[in-house]
Amino acid sequence: MPELVFFSGTMDCGKSTLALQIAHNRSARGLEGLIFTRDDRAGEGKLSSRLGLVTDAVEAGPGFGPYGYVVDRLQRGGRVDYVIADEAQFLAPEQVDQLARIVDDLEMDVYAFGITTDFRTRLFPGSQRLIELADRVETLQVEALCWCGARATHNARTVGGVMVVEGEQVMVGDVANQPDEIGYEVLCRRHHRRRMTSATARAGALSPDVLPVSSA
């Protein structure tokens, strides 16, 4: 039976890499798929992995209808055997409903990949709807690590290395940000609660206040 499967996890846990691997494996078996994405770091209409792999995709922006797009492709004589939706946390709930309709009405597997919660630890609307509708929710087994070495469970937004907890839910950045640019970092719950990023941890370690004081 076709399924709607939601692969979830923090940043750096291999979601986009797995999406590309699934597409590769099915292509090698002669299957043809459609890849939807939204606000990928590589630009519009791209699906990219932090390992450097990139492929073309269909940008699923505001107002885009995944179900209608697939039906139109089929009516034009095209072939679609499965659908991949990367950065699915950015999809609107009604777009996720359409992914479920692709599974139920068109009998195709749909594989969605996304972050569950935002930098404020709140569910993304798209991810919430996927959790509500998916036949299966899979947590990726590749564990991202906090700077302290513990398992990373939370996504943090940084500006110049300083963690922020206010602002728009969706702002595209990257983990390799330059000073004063928007970036993202994965943290364990303890350091997310303390708002302690790798940059602030280094600054604290170098502070004279925490260095040993000479008896001389």
User: Is 86 part of any known ligand binding site?
Assistant: yes
User: Is 15 part of any known ligand binding site?
Assistant: yes
One of 87, 94, 132, 181 is an active-site residue; which one?
Answer: 87
The rounded Cα 179 to chain-centroid distance in angstroms is: 23
User: How far is CA 201 from each of CA 91, 142, 145, 194, rounded to the nearest angstrom?
Assistant: 34, 24, 15, 11
User: Is 203 part of any known ligand binding site?
Assistant: no
User: Is 169 part of any known ligand binding site?
Assistant: no
Q: Is 60 left (phi over 0), alpha (psi -120 to 50) or beta?
A: beta
User: Is 13 part of any known ligand binding site?
Assistant: yes
The contacts of residue 6 (CB under 8 Å, 6+ apart) are 88, 112, 113, 114, 127, 130, 131, 134, 136, 137, 138
Active site residue 32: no
User: Is 16 part of any known ligand binding site?
Assistant: yes
User: Is 88 part of any known ligand binding site?
Assistant: yes
Active site residues: 87
Q: Please enumerate, by residue number, every residue annotated as part of a binding site for ATP.
A: 9-16, 86-89
